[in-house]
Amino acid sequence: MVVSRAARRPHTIDLVRLHALCEANYARLLRLFPDYQQCNQREFEVSGARVRLEVLERNRYTTFFRLLQSHGEARWLGSLDVELRAYHDARMLEVNRFQSRRSVRGRYPYPNAEMFQEDEKLQQNLFLAEWLEHCLANGRTPATGVGFSLA
């Protein structure tokens, strides 16, 4: 049975799920970059790739970060460039820009010219969660080769 476009229910945003994900990502980022208030950058290696977290801007309640990955195996991920926004009062972290795309909306009509998923914002934040977990599990500082504490 084919459902016509007019008969489809509009996509609704699951705010509880999105907020929980952003809260967990905030905690993950702080484990990777606990001293972000005192220094502007943290570098480490993950699976043969060099990763850099940079502070772009600090405000009273928010901090903008840039996450860069380079020299990784092209078949795994290649180059990655993501801008993140941390809301310290809410203890949440969200993707602000993914690769070259600016400000992702909460939902998109589908299909659309850019071929974004209806829940593109959630998908990008889910990717960030998996990527941060991968960094926590496999990341090593270049100078010492020591991994991150998972405590």
Each of the 151 residues of the chain gets a pLDDT tens digit; together they read 555 555 566 667 788 999 999 999 999 999 999 999 999 999 999 878 889 999 999 999 999 999 998 875 556 556 889 999 999 999 999 999 887 666 666 666 677 676 666 777 888 899 999 999 999 999 887 766 667 654 3
Q: Is residue 25 part of a domain?
A: yes
Q: Is residue 24 part of a domain?
A: yes
CA 100/CA 82 separation, integer angstroms:
8
Residue 103 Ramachandran class (φ > 0 left, ψ -120 to 50 alpha, else beta): left
Q: How far is CA 56 from CA 27, 36, 41, 85, 140, in A?
A: 19, 11, 9, 10, 23
Total domain count for the chain?
1
CB 20 within 8 A of CB 122: no
CA 23/CA 17 separation, integer angstroms:
10
> Which pTM value belongs to this model?
0.80
Q: Which residues of 46-83 are buried (b: 16+ CB within 10 A; e: fewer)?
A: beebebebbbeeeeeeebbbbbebeebeeeeeeebebb
Q: Is residue 150 part of a domain?
A: no
Tokens 């459902």 — which residue?
3
Q: Is residue 44 part of a domain?
A: yes
Q: Which range marks the domain in which residue 87 is found?
A: 11-140
